[in-house]
Amino acid sequence: MSNTPTRDASETSQSNGVRQSTPLLEEFLSYLAVERNFSSHTREAYRRDLEQFMAHLHVASVLEVDTREVRGYLADLARQDYKISTRNRKMAALRSFYRFLVREEYRTSNPTEELHGPKKGRTLPKVLDQTQTQQLLMALAGDDPINLRDRAWAHTLYATGLRVSEVIGIDLDKLNLKQGEVRVIGKGNKERIALLDGPAMQALESYLWIGRPELVKTPTEQALFLNAKDGNRLTARALQQRLQTLGQEVLGFSISPHTLRHSFATHLLEGGADLRVVQELLGHSTIATTQVYTHLSSQRLRKVYELAHPRAKRGTIRSADHSNKG
C-alpha cells in the first residue's frame, strides 16, 4: 500500500526531516494532551524520542518512512547499547505516532505495525528492608528549612508509595493532615487518595509551620514542596539527586524515589496486606503490575527462611553430610 499522504501535507515542506516533521509532531503532542490526558512529563519524553528518530532519518519526511527505515533505527539503538527498556519506550512512541498519522489520514499505512521491541527479562525492583528504610529517614535530621522539607517528602514517599511526579505535584489544598490524607493526580490524569502515617504527618506539619514559610517567595504559591533558590515548585530532578546522595551517605549505594515506592509495596505485602489494596494505593490500573511485588516478597521470605530454619541452613546440612560420610 502506498504511503502517499491523503491529506494536504504542505505544512511539512521545509528542508530536512526534523524541521519538516515539526508541525506533525506538535499536532501529535497536542492530541496526547487533549484526547489522551498524557502528563507533560510523558509528552516531553515522547517529544525527545521522536525528535531523536527524526534526526536519524535518511528520507525527507516522516511521511516517507518505511518499515526498513524504522528497523535500521532500532538496530542503531541496539548498537549504541541503549537499555532494552529504553528501546521499547522509543518503539512505543514511534508506534503511537504513526497510528496517529494513519488515523488523521496523513498516511495510509503504519511502518511500525509488524515490528516488535526487544524482549526484556523480568527484573525485580530494588527495595530496602525496614531497617535500611528507618536508617535513611532518621538521617534527615536538622531543623533548617531544607532539612525539614526533605524529611517531609521522604516520609511522604515511604508512607504513601507515591511516584515522584505525584509527590512534587501536591498542592496545599490537596493535603488534609487532620484526616491523614492527600489527594494526588496520577497516571492518566486519575485522582486518588493516598494515606499518611504518623511520622509523615509530623514531618509535614513541622515543614508547613517552620520550613515552608522560609522557602516561599510568593504568598499565592500553592505547591507544597518548594525549591530553596526561587521558591517555585520543587523539581523531580532536585528530589532525585538529593535522594541519590542520601542513599550513598547513609546506605553506601544510590537509591531513587521508586526505591521507596517499591519498599512501601513490599513491606505492606510482608505485613499481610491484600494485593488489591496495594494495587489501589499504588494507583496501578491492573493487578498484573502489582504482582511483581509478590515475587519480591516471596524471595525475601525465602532468604529469611534459609537463614532462620535449622534444616534450611545449607552449611549445617553440608557439614552433617560430611560427618555421615566418615
Question: E strands within 186-292?
Answer: 191-195
Residues 97 and 137 reside in one and the same domain: no
Does a structural domain hold residue 247? yes
Lowest mean pLDDT among 29-33, 110-114, 318-322: 318-322
Could you say which of 231, 256, 281 is where a domain stops? 256
State residue 306's pLDDT score. Answer: 67
As a whole number, mean pLDDT of residues 125-133 equals 88
Report the distance separating Cα 135 and Cα 32, nearest Å: 41
Does a structural domain hold residue 151? yes
Closest by Cα among 284, 234, 236 to 264: 284
As a whole number, mean pLDDT of residues 232-245 equals 95
Indicate the pLDDT class of residue 315, thresholds 50, 70 and 90: very low
Residues 140 and 241 reside in one and the same domain: yes
SS3 for 233? strand
Asked if pLDDT for residue 95 goes beyond 90, the answer is yes
Q: Highest mean pLDDT range out of 118-122, 214-218, 280-284?
A: 214-218
Indicate the pLDDT class of residue 318, thresholds 50, 70 and 90: very low
Average pLDDT over the chain, rounded to whole?
Answer: 83
Report the distance separating Cα 18 and Cα 276, nearest Å: 45
Its domain, for residue 70, covers 10-103
Report the distance separating Cα 315 and Cα 249, nearest Å: 34
Does a structural domain hold residue 196? yes
According to DSSP, residue 166 is labeled H
Does a structural domain hold residue 159? yes
> Residues 233, 261: contact at Cβ < 8 Å?
no
- CATH number for the domain spanning 242: value is 1.10.443.10
Does a structural domain hold residue 16? yes
State residue 322's pLDDT score. Answer: 43
User: What percent of the chain is predicted at pLDDT more than 90?
Assistant: 55
Does a structural domain hold residue 160? yes
As a whole number, mean pLDDT of residues 249-254 equals 93
Could you say which of 233, 256, 279 is where a domain stops? 256
**Which active-site residues does the annotation give?**
163, 187, 258, 261, 284, 293
Q: Counting Cβ atoms within 10 Å, is residue 141 exposed (0-12), middle (13-18) or buried (19+)?
A: exposed
State residue 285's pLDDT score. Answer: 76
Residues 88 and 201 reside in one and the same domain: no
Residues 242 and 140 reside in one and the same domain: yes
Residues 147 and 238 reside in one and the same domain: yes
Indicate the pLDDT class of residue 60, thresholds 50, 70 and 90: confident
SS3 for 1? coil
Q: Determine phi and psi for 126, rounding to 5 degrees.
A: -75, 135
Angle between helices 84-103 and 40-56 (to 10 degrees): 90
As a whole number, mean pLDDT of residues 44-68 equals 91
- CATH number for the domain spanning 73: value is 1.10.150
Residue 95 or 124, more confident: 95
Indicate the pLDDT class of residue 323, thresholds 50, 70 and 90: very low
Residues 143 and 224 reside in one and the same domain: yes
Indicate the pLDDT class of residue 27, thresholds 50, 70 and 90: very high
Residues 167 and 62 reside in one and the same domain: no
Residues 147 and 226 reside in one and the same domain: yes
Map grid coordinates 510523558 to a residue.
42
Could you say which of 238, 256, 274 is where a domain stops? 256
> Edge-to-edge strands of the sheet including 181-185?
175-176, 181-185, 191-195
State residue 150's pLDDT score. Answer: 97
Does a structural domain hold residue 283? no
Residues 137 and 251 reside in one and the same domain: yes
Residues 234 and 140 reside in one and the same domain: yes
Residues 15 and 51 reside in one and the same domain: yes
> Residues 180, 197: contact at Cβ < 8 Å?
yes
Bridge partners of 192, per DSSP, are: 184
State residue 21's pLDDT score. Answer: 56
> Residues 140, 162: contact at Cβ < 8 Å?
no
- How many domains would you assign to the chain? 2
Lowest mean pLDDT among 69-78, 165-174, 223-232, 281-290: 281-290
Report the distance separating Cα 220 and Cα 208, nearest Å: 15
Residues 54 and 141 reside in one and the same domain: no
pLDDT tens for 172-221 read: 999 999 999 999 988 777 888 999 999 999 999 999 999 999 999 999 99
Does a structural domain hold residue 163? yes
Asked if pLDDT for residue 8 goes beyond 50, the answer is no
